Structure 1
Amino acid sequence: MEKQFIFEQITEMWNNHIPFNSLLGFTITQMTEEYAEIQFDWQDKLMGNPIQKILHGGVTASVLDMVGGVVISANLIGRINKPDKKKIADKLSKFCTIDLRTDYLRPGKGKSFVATARIIRHGSKVAVARMELHNEKGEHIAFGTGTYMV
C-alpha cells in the first residue's frame, strides 16, 4: 500500500470515528512522517474560564497529545517495510503516550486554533515529538513535548 493512501485512511478514521476527537471538533489537516497539523474552532463547550472565555487547559493538552501522536504514528508507519493492514494494526496497537508536558504560554483565546507537531527523535521503542498550539492570529498559546511508546 502507498504511504499517502494509508495516511489518508488513518486521517479519515481518526477524524470521523473517534468520538472524543469529534466531541472536541479536532480535524487532522496534515499528516506526514515529519509533520502533523490539527485544526479546530472555538466552541463554548471547550471553555475553561467563562469570565475570560478561554480554552480549558485539558483541551489544550488533548490537542497537543493528539497532534504529537499523529506525527509519531505517521513516522512509525513510514518505517514499516511493505506496509499492509496487519503490520500497521500490530504497530499501532502498541502505540501509547508515556509522558506529556504542556507549557501554557498565554490564555487560549481565539476563534480557531491550529496544533502542529514535529518529530524530535524516533527510536526503536520510544519516540518524542514537539508540539505547538496557535490561534488564528498566530499567537503562540502553548507548546508541549510528548513521549510515546512505539
Structure 2
Amino acid sequence: MRTPPPIPAEFEPEFIAGLKAIFEEKIVFNQVLGLKITSLLPERVTARIDMKPQLVGHYSYNRIHGGVISAGLDAMGGLACMAAIGARHMDESPDQRLHRFAKLGTIDLRIDYLRPGIGEFFELRAEVMRLGSRVASTRMEFLGPDGKLLSCGSGAYIVS
C-alpha cells in the first residue's frame, strides 16, 4: 500500500497564479460577484467580496442578496477542492494539476443563513473535510467585516 505524500506547507507560485487565473478570470461569474482570493493553502482557502450596489438583496437595509452568499460559498467549496487535489498530486507539474479541475462540479449544497449580510466587505472561507477518489465534502463560512459568522454551508463535489 502506497503512503500518501505529506501535505505541503504551501504551493508553488506557478500553481497559485494558475489557480487564481482560473478562479478570478476564467470563471466569469466570480468576477460578477467580485470574488478575490486572499489566501490559498492546501488545507484552507479564503477570499473576499466587496459590497457593491449590484449585490444588494434588500434595498432598505443594503443587505447582500442570499444568492450572492450561496454562489460565493459554492465557489469557495470548489476552490477548496482544487487546493486539496493540487496538494494530493504534488508529484505532478503545476500545469498537470491545473488540468485536473475540468470535471469538478457541485453535487449538493446546503447554506444556513444565520445573520443579515450587512457590511462593506465579506470574508469567505472553505476547507475540505474529506477528499475521496470521486467525491469531496467541504465546509464553508461567510463572515462580516467584524469577523462574525453570517452564513455557513456544506457541499459535496464531484472531483473525478
User: Given the two structures, how large is their TM-score scaled by the length of structure 1?
Assistant: 0.91
Given that residues 7 and 74 in structure 1 are in contact (C-alpha distance below 8 angstroms), is that contact kept between their aligned partners in structure 2?
no
Cα-to-partner distance string for 1:67-96 (whole Å, 9 max, x where unaligned): 11111111112112522324531x211111
1:92-131 pair list within 5 angstroms: 92-131=101-140
Alignment correspondent of 2:55: 46
Letter in 2 for 1:88: L
Residue 88 of structure 1 corresponds to: 98
Shift, 1:16, TM fit: 2.8
Moved runs in structure 1, 4+ residues, more than 4 A? none
Give the whole-Å Cα distance in 2 for the aligned partners of 1:28 and 1:117: 11
| Residues 33, 72 of structure 1: 8 Å contact kept | no
How many residues align? The count is 148
- Alpha-carbon distance in structure 2 between the residues aligned to 1:141 and 1:81: 35
Q: Aligned residue for 1:34?
A: 43
% identical equivalent positions = 34
Q: With structure 2 as the length reference, what TM-score do the two structures score?
A: 0.86
The alignment status of 1:64 with 2:64, answered yes or no, reads: no
Asked whether the 8 Å contact 2:11–2:41 carries over to 1, the reply is no
Which ranges in structure 1 are unaligned for 5 or more consecutive residues?
A: none
In structure 1, the residue matched to 2:19 is 10
Extract unaligned runs of 5+ from structure 2. 1-9
Give the superposed CA RMSD: 1.6
